[in-house]
Amino acid sequence: MRLLLISSSVVHGTGYLDHAEAELRDFLGATRRLLFVPFAQADHEAYTTRVRERLAAMDIAVEGLHAAAEPQAAIAGAGAVFVGGGNTFCLLAELQRRALLAALHARVLAGAAYVGSSAGTNLAGLTIGTTNDMPIVWPTSLQALGLLPFNLNPHYLDHDPRSTHMGEPRELRIREFHERNPQAVLGLREPAMLRREGDALNLRGAAGARLFRRGEAPAEIAPGAALDALLRP
């Protein structure tokens, strides 16, 4: 299985996917076509156009899944899939509505490279229960692709002790998740990325991550760390 999971498609001070371009080029290798899943945003065509124009600079052609005459066949024939960011609930609900979640899961297991950003990264975990997004629509289930045996929290933000904001910090939200759910949660800071190549899992990018396990203190993960053990919970 091959995964590249990006915390955020945009990092402060850079353009769309700029910070991830080198990693994308290395991950995709000779791939020159990919299937884009735009369902995390409302305007599927505009979103696909944005991705198509950006990846054209990398000599990669993009097909939007929303426009495919036969979506199941488009997924089955894809060598690489990119699931973009936006609202994770919308993304999962639309994949469920179109009955495409199982086909996407099967295609990645069969060898297609999977790139996710933000919501698309959330989708790779066991459930979307640790997304930061509001449930503006409600999927039939929170079960996601299960390409990893844990959950993800892209855009992970550390609590600032100097802040006067009285809302719950991200760490507390994840602790609340663990009151009801057993799986580990990996909080990916911006601009961190997670890359899986078979049984090898590595944290990439310039930022670290935090690993949360039920009943344990959070663990700091440095950029470049090997996380293979997380694939064997």
Instruction: Name the residues annotated as catalytic.
Output: 118, 133, 155
Q: Measured over all CA atoms, what is the biggest interatomic distance in the chain, rounded to whole angstroms?
A: 53
CA 46 – CA 38 distance, rounded (Å) = 9
Measured torsion, CA atoms of residues 182, 183, 184, 186, in degrees rounded to the nearest 10: -130
Alpha helices in the chain (DSSP H): 21-28, 44-56, 71-76, 88-97, 101-109, 119-122, 170-178
What does 43-93 look like in DSSP terms, one character per residue?
Answer: -HHHHHHHHHHHHHTTT-EEEEGGG-SSHHHHHHT-SEEEE--S-HHHHHH
Alpha-carbon distances, residue 217 vs 198, 220, 228 (angstroms): 29, 10, 20
The number of C-alpha atoms within 13 Å of 7 and in the hemisphere containing its C-beta is 24
Residue tagged 């939200």 (tokens): 173
